Structure 1
Amino acid sequence: MKDIKDYIATDPEVLGRQPVFKGTRVPIETMFLHLEKGVSLDEFLEDFPSVQKEQAVAVLGFAEKIMTSKNILKLYETAA
């Protein structure tokens, strides 16, 4: 797995620094909202063709690492 910066960008000029898929204006949050609503990853990628499957899978992998970390409480406190 590459570095998170290879897949996620934050820029004050792009959606006010909201995390987006690198090279796009698609917020990371949008993918999670679609998945929460039962939209498949493939459907999300069809709706947002600027996002590559590799990017989406990598972001899900990062989320998995965070959510399964033994330090999840510290990570949550840092993010909150």
Structure 2
Amino acid sequence: MNWQDHIVSNKDILLGKPTVKGSRISVELILDLLATGWTEKMIFESYPTLKEEDLKAIFLYLKNCMQNELFFNYDKSA
């Protein structure tokens, strides 16, 4: 799967945040929902246009970001 087929960034949509193609559903929103305890089933019920492939693409996108070191460093001593 190619995450670029599902995740896009457009400066005119949500200030350029990565979103699911053809929607205003941001990667950040999906991650926030999962982090607060939502299940995949809850997400798909609340966002019926979201497909399983879109969710997989979000995780592939994040994996690619991590591999390319596109993340914030976290210093536990700070």
The alignment's TM-score, normalised by the length of structure 1, stands at 0.73
Which structure has more helix as a fraction of its residues?
A: 1
Where relative contact order (Cα < 8 A, 6+ residues apart) is larger, the structure is 2
* Length, aligned pairs only: 72
Identity %: 22
Question: Over the residues paired in the alignment, what is the CA RMSD in angstroms?
Answer: 2.0
Structure 2's unaligned 5+ residue stretches are 73-78
Structure 1's unaligned 5+ residue stretches are none
Q: Which runs of 4+ in 1 moved over 2 A?
A: 61-67
The alignment's TM-score, normalised by the length of structure 2, stands at 0.75
Task: Report Cα offsets for 1:1-48 as digits up to 9, x if no partner.
Answer: 21x321111112211111111111111111100110111012111111
